[in-house]
Structure 1
């Protein structure tokens, strides 16, 4: 049986609230009390929405602001069950933790650090009774493990709303060990600690990684089953995460470290480095390749495990001649991966980031392999094949069905689907469904979404042996699933086409035609409007399959060539859609 899910999902709703009261909690933090009818169940544009719910102590809502003051033009589109982030050049978003939620009064408190020049701080500094604010979320709430003996809550002053709410509401009845760094004593707040708790205040500049790490190291954490939660400036948390994982041996499912904000200024190592030559403003790929090599050789991990390691010792540990490591060092140092000299090397800020599993995937994971396939982009375009196929001699689908690690990365990428699938699970098409056939790396998310919606069809999965083994480890109560496939009332193919060429996608649809009368394709049809890499989305899709993101026209063409008809499309948000296909008949208009 899979482990307990780490979060509970919530419907994504755009809400308008107004300022009711403003108070200064400290000279550096302002509390804005917001209220309005849209915190209760309400109807807008014919769509019914549930009441605001933020049960978790570290839930966050996404506040929407506008660079030019025209907030209405910056708002996303509300779907019946989700949000679509339409393009808006003036949109600014910031995440904030509800400090207090009072459903009876129809109020929610947001605390803003006002010592800064960001758009949210500026809005809070001038907020007056009656001012409006729009926000979306929360999309999920953290589920703490059922068995705990203690909890660590650490962070800077931006973490105080979450820490304060935890201590007020006590979602778990265990001693809390609190550590907060503040820029001066005036930023301290009264916290609802009780017997058995410890509270430590440390005066340090915002974003001071060394001070935060040193303070966490000094905490005498008790024995037993613990949980560590930390929130602060993103880079300042990197050594804290490394310490808790690598030195204290805290399991990953007992650790939640979240970057609440990002320091704007350039890191010193980057500022002092000589500028690399660039052609027409296009950055060189050489630093990326060097960082990739350092990860593949184990250089980053070796330096992390032995800070201050001499070059010769490092070379022996990773099995590379010292001269070879020396070739990498200048660029690794120039870009902040390592600091120091041959007598003693330590990780820099960029190196600390590379210890994060998601960050390193950009260099050595599936995403990196797709990027390398783009070296064949020009000939692939001429030949009309996927760059992956041109580079490797086989399709991406052929590769992932043989490689558990690679397929596992696809499954992890699909974990975000669970936040979007309420539009699908709320659809009437589930009426009378007794058996559901699943395929694709998003299958585990579909199972979770069906569970959340209260649907209990018999479940079947059709996948090759390796993908099925990966999914079996990710699905809650995997023993209830028939892993041999077979006939069903409906099939859901969740991101099953994203790693298939058109020919492979058509073959899948033909196979499903022998088992089900209706198929739902869950795919990204357009880039995520909030993603900083939205411009690259179509290229990444092309690298994988030889086709850009498949929109309605492409899906309709695939359906037609395999005897399916598009009945309708259910928008899910964030660029994703669920396309309902049925056999024969007349296509929907």
Structure 2
């Protein structure tokens, strides 16, 4: 069965607004009311942009600030249908949920926690009428499932804007059960409750994981089909996620858990004293791979899951449950304790530490056990690969990455999931004039599901065919909308779109694919990342990741043009999509 997308996408537009007024909601929450012409449809630099839309109760906009005060240098580039996050040394961005959107009045309300010390909180503390603010988004809105009987809304005070908006607007006409942790009674707010709703206020310090988990466990579980939405400090939500998924057995489409902020651990007093006593900067050093390898082993052996499910085990009991010899566990446990993955602080048995709790999150553990982790391990062959001009993956596995994923549904599924972000960028392609008169479209590559969804969102009801076979085809069947309406064989089409199909192919494999497409169509579009995403903290590593997978650097427009020419195509033009991605339009030569 095809998976149902849980969100609706919106065009990404850079907007300028100004402060209209500032209100004190509580002693701990300040509301900044923003307005401006950019909230309506407007034109800038010859580009028409739609009016602001944030229909979801937990939508978020990305505020753009500048550490050095030069906001113009921090702004991203506005594309006709998206945003390009160009490099900016002093750019600061923070995500905030609109508490209220009043388009008739041309206003957006943002609530800020007063006692925070981040850049956005500092801006709000100094905000005065007329002050300028730039933001982007929202890029999407959550779609709540149909057929629900109740919803639980859980969070700390940073979640109050979203919770308050839900209760005001009621996107679901079902009882709402609210749980909010606040540091003191002064942080409580008036909420728009109805008959059948409940609200529980719990006094707890911000980021108190134990208090939040205990309060969630104490909530009654109503009868019928329900949904749990939760937002708070990232680590504080980890035990809540574990409880909901492992004990209450809620499926992923019945839970939405988002870390709204991350608490920085204070430095130990002795560390501060040492830093003060010795003002000379310490060498940066090169991080050891040992913690990563140890965490990977703990996940692969089942240590983290077993300790999570059965806390208090002895080392011997853990070894017996895992079927691992005792000496092996004895080697691993001291390192896991040093990295705060598995600890036995009081002699009462093994329990997860803070790092171990984080490894219960599916997205977090993919860094250690998924496809990206395998690519990282392949870098052990980096030196010979550079010398031989081949990919580290091929040296590590004996096959190209394309050949590997062709027979590995799980690995191809990870590629498809990585491509889900494409749907936020494809508006620029689906709005392009090349679709005029097009009736049939052939798709290939792990981004095919996102491309099919983007065409659907744009109202382009084309006859689709997908040129994938075996494991990739089976994976895509579970992700595309209406798979029964798709022709699952390659063949003639008005336009072919290769969506991230080259990102895991060598140059020779890419030429073979493009040559194959040339036999079916006179127009093809390549959707690929041609440069690093300027917002990514790992932008500098993009070329190395590409080399690991394909044996070559990240392919820019010039490199794609060379591949196209070798395959009987010519590049007509490129369409910038944002976040480093481009659509290269090819015509048969």
TM-score, normalised by the number of residues in structure 1 = 0.96
CA contact (8 A) 1:519 1:580 kept: yes
Alignment of 1:148-547 (within 5 A): 148-265=148-265, 281-340=285-344, 343-547=348-552
| Alpha-carbon separation, structure 1, partners of 2:153 and 2:12 | 27
1:549-568, aligned counterparts within 5 Å?
549-568=554-573
**C-alpha distance after superposition, 1:249-272 (max 9, x if no partner):** 11111100000001122598xx99
- Give runs of ≥4 in structure 1 deviating > 6 Å: none
Q: Distance in 2 between matches of 1:84 and 1:365?
A: 28
Query: Which secondary structure state, in structure 1, belongs to the residue aligned with residue 52 of structure 2?
Result: coil
Residue 581 (structure 1) aligned with residue 569 (structure 2): no
The answer (yes or no) to whether the contact 2:13–2:83 under 8 Å persists in 1 is: yes
Deviation at 1:309, TM superposition (A): 2.1
Q: Secondary structure at the match of 1:327?
A: helix
Q: What's 1:49 paired with?
A: 49
Give the 3 Å change call, closer, same or farther, for CA 224–267 of structure 1 in structure 2. Answer: farther
1:587 maps to which residue? none
Distance (Å, rounded) in 2 between the aligned partners of 1:5 and 1:267:
42
Structure 1 residues 417-454: Cα deviation after superposition (integer angstroms, max 9, x where no partner):
00000000000000011110000000000000000000
Does structure 2 conserve the Cα–Cα contact (< 8 Å) formed by 1:311 and 1:343? no
Residue of structure 1 in register with 2:61 after alignment: 61
> Which residue is equivalent to 1:22?
22
Alpha-carbon separation, structure 2, partners of 1:199 and 1:14: 37
For residues 280 and 146 of structure 1, what CA distance do their matches in structure 2 show?
52
Name whichever of 349-358 and 510-519 sits farther off.
Answer: 349-358
Displacement of 1:3 in angstroms is 3.6
The 1:371/1:454 distance shift into structure 2, 3 A limit, reads same
Give yes or no for contact 2:440–2:495 (8 Å, CA) kept in 1: yes
Q: After superposing the two structures, state which structure 1 stretch, 570-579 or 525-534, moved more.
A: 525-534
TM value normalised by structure 2: 0.96
Q: Deviations over 1:528-562 (max 9, x none)?
A: 11111111111111100011111011101101111
List runs of 5+ in structure 2 lacking aligned partners: 273-281
CA deviations over 1:347-389 (Å, ceiling 9, x no partner): 1111111111111111111000000000000000010000101
Q: Equivalents in 1 of 2:168, 2:303: separation in Å?
A: 44
Match of 2:279 in 1: none
SS of the residue aligned with 2:356? helix
Q: Deviations over 1:159-202 (max 9, x none)?
A: 00000000000100111110101111111100111111110111
SS for the counterpart of 2:478 is helix
For 2:455 and 2:164, the matched residues in 1 are separated by 34
Aligned to 1:275: none
| Cα displacement (A) at 1:464 | 2.2
Task: Decide whether the 8 Å contact of 2:3 with 2:478 is kept in 1.
Answer: no
SS at match of 2:344: strand
Residue deviations 1:490-533 (CA, integer Å, cap 9, x gap): 10000000110000000000110110101100000111111111
2:372 is paired with a residue of what secondary structure? helix
Mean Cα displacement is larger for which, 356-365 or 404-413?
Answer: 356-365
| Correspondence for 2:275 | none
Alpha-carbon displacement from aligned partner over 1:430-484 (angstroms, at most 9, x marks no partner): 0011110000000000000000000011000101211000000111110000001
Separation of aligned partners in 1, 2:248 and 2:311 = 16
Paired residues in the alignment total 577
Q: How do residues 15-164 of structure 1 correspond to structure 2 at under 5 angstroms?
A: 15-164=15-164
Counterparts of 1:454 and 1:558 in 2: how far apart (Å)?
32
Counterparts of 2:392 and 2:197, CA distance in 1: 57
Secondary structure at the counterpart of residue 474 of structure 1: coil
CA distance in 2, matches of 1:540, 1:331: 28
Q: Distance in 1 between matches of 2:28 and 2:302?
A: 43
More moved, 461-470 vs 308-317: 308-317
Q: Distance in 1 between matches of 2:459 and 2:427?
A: 11
SS in 2 for 1:550: coil
RMSD (Å) for aligned C-alpha atoms? 1.4
